[in-house]
Structure 1
Amino acid sequence: MSNNAEKDQVVPEEDDDEPDDCASSVLAAMQDKMNDCYYAKRDWRACKDEMEAFRECWKRQGNDKRTETKDA
């Protein structure tokens, strides 16, 4: 095999069966937890911990750049 053929080969990404700590399913679960908190307490201020956890996970996924959201 020549050097050019080796360079042109595509190396597949490693198959990672472990879910990302902020995978979409985790984000969805965090959003559900946030919504449940609000439903139970009827006050977003009482759900700051849930909101902050969701916000940090959202940012780690790069969704703030993708959706161009801005922190207030």
Structure 2
Amino acid sequence: MDTEHEVDLLIEEIRRLGSTGADGKIRVKFGVLFADDKCANLFEALVGTLRAAKRKKKISFAGELLLQGVHDDVDIVLETD
């Protein structure tokens, strides 16, 4: 699995599904990303891809691990343009 490619795809999906916040950064709720059909087909392990993107400082979100249902309202913020 090419992690860099997966992270790039994730960034594209965040741009597609997200909206620009007051700070000018694009953000999307975890629940929206998780429930999207295209994302479900693209990412075999969405949570793993999110963690990899966070480690690379491409995105940010509260906490270390996001779980469906529990963290649906957590913002995932795109940190790069």
Structure showing greater radius of gyration is: 1
TM-score by length of 2: 0.31
Which structure carries more strand by proportion? 2
TM-score by length of 1: 0.33
Which structure carries more helix by proportion? 1
